[in-house]
Structure 1
Amino acid sequence: MIEFRYFAATVMLGMSSAAIFLNSLVVRHMFREREGFHKICVNKAVANVFIGLAFLVWAAPCSYLNFLYLPHYFNVFFGQIVGWGPYLMSGPFTQMCLAVNRAVAISFPYWFNKQHKVPWTKIILAGLWALAILMSLPAMIDGCSYIFFVESVSWSPTDTVCSRTLSEYVTNLVLLMAIISFSINVSSIIKIVRSAIGLGAAMDPNMSETRKKKRRKMFIQCVIQDCTHTTDCMLNTYVYTFYSAQWFQFLCGAVSALTVITLDGFLMSVLHQKSTTPSQTRESPSKSHTNGEFRKRGVSRVSATIMTTTTL
């Protein structure tokens, strides 16, 4: 009978390759987009690529070989990618940003649509990357690490007080942020429903139907991703303790994590809709228009451009 580790390695190899491919497409397609939502998606996709690479170049080969083919330091390094820095950016940090981004777009559409001199989204994302890296540094200390165990084909904290304590802190933070982002999304859903039945003004009435449809897609993507990341957190934190079989541990750990980042890439690719450029919405003026009418149309075009350009 073929050893389970060969099957596990093959699954990790295939799923990580798919995840890297899909998330790389997201980076390629959204990199030049101007909306804050797309900037957050690009950062999420980059973090997902890092996680996929950790499985592709470390976990899968080690499982095939049945030993760590590089020094222990590399095991610690890849563990910080899967369990700390990029994981925090892929999951709780960017999910919180997406939830807040959608909530502001729904509740304050006029403020959200106007151009801002300060690139708040870029500043916040840079700060979150710095925070994620800083939070992963303590785990680089010997005895405090999150590493890959070839014997059980799984990522786990080392059996030390330091490692267990750090893991508990991060787990609690992830759960707290998952609850907060989920609550924000529920609040946004309520506002959308109230708007649909005429009890609120969640959507800008002057916004085009295409723009409204695009924002609905963004919100649906945000909610689905939030649910999948919360489910993955629950599987890795609680469900895996229900049964000690190796295959069950593998499903709750590696398969769950790879499924989430693969689904992330798939959703962001499928639901992505490019921003409308000014040239696409511009109509050529008639020769019969007076100079005054031409100026008015020019002003309206500038207004339309501002309404369709989100730099927040």
Structure 2
Amino acid sequence: MGGTAEAADVNIYSSRQPALIQPLLDAFTKETGLTTATIFIEKGLEERVKAEGANSPADVILTVDIGRLDAAREAGILQPLENAVIAKDIPAAFRDKGNEWSGVTARARVVYASADRVGDEPITYESLADPKWKGKICIRSGQHQYNVALIAAFLAHHGEAKTKTWLEGLRDNLASAPQGGDRDQARNVAAGQCDIAIGNTYYVGLMRNNEKEPEQKEWAKAIKVVLPTFENGGTHVNISGMGLAKNAPNRDNAVKFMEFLTTDEAQRIYAEINHEYPLKPGVAQSESVKSFGELKPDTLSLTDIASHRAKASQLIDEVGFDKGPQS
């Protein structure tokens, strides 16, 4: 474990649960001899680093979701890093065009379908607004960053008018007003409250392998993962990512850590422990993730998706999405 921020070789500010990244930090220290200290900040990470200013101890920002990475870029707390290792290992669609952030791993926003009540037909994101699903869909808050990113991707594909109509259709197909997290949606499908739910892929892996809370294994058993696509694209993928902090006091060590995260070893650890998709081509997926079938990621760049976030958030409120069905 790393010591206090001042004493460590690399200081990581992270919005990720510490348990999810500790095995990576241990592997990095073992390989390089460099120590790490992690400061876990669930909310207000950008504000914190901004307030610390030039004296911020932050070297690397680690976070989930294109929205958070884009917010960090907008807040001016990152610096561009042109790096041959990262550029070689991480496909361009998953890196910032201005080199201020890079993806590390991917997760797809998919359908959790009832294993008993839903057939094997493919599902598109567009078809979630089809009245045949009336009263049969569960989802967490529309304003949660994972849903904002999905709706921003829909906007990038279809424009505002179509997206608004789609959101109204999806809202009116909900079994109840959105609440809880992605795992709760799987529980709701298992309990028969809805036939399909929207959630991230890695939660399914985490539930299937949850020895501490065996009831989550039951929720995972009750669902099958369907990889939906856009009618003119692929499956919506989001990322966990990293950026070099603007005032990184240990810049060289920070770059070593960022390069480490794209190595086969680090990508494999992420894949096995968190059930995320490695972004580096050729690294094996976990058994759970492999069982979902072949992922064909949407080709929209994450930068494009990020540019539609504010409008997506506005439309979610405009249609009263979180109030649930209105007809």
TM-score of the pair, normalised by structure 1: 0.26
Where is the helix percentage greater, Structure 1 or Structure 2?
Answer: 1
Larger radius of gyration: 1
TM-score of the pair, normalised by structure 2: 0.25
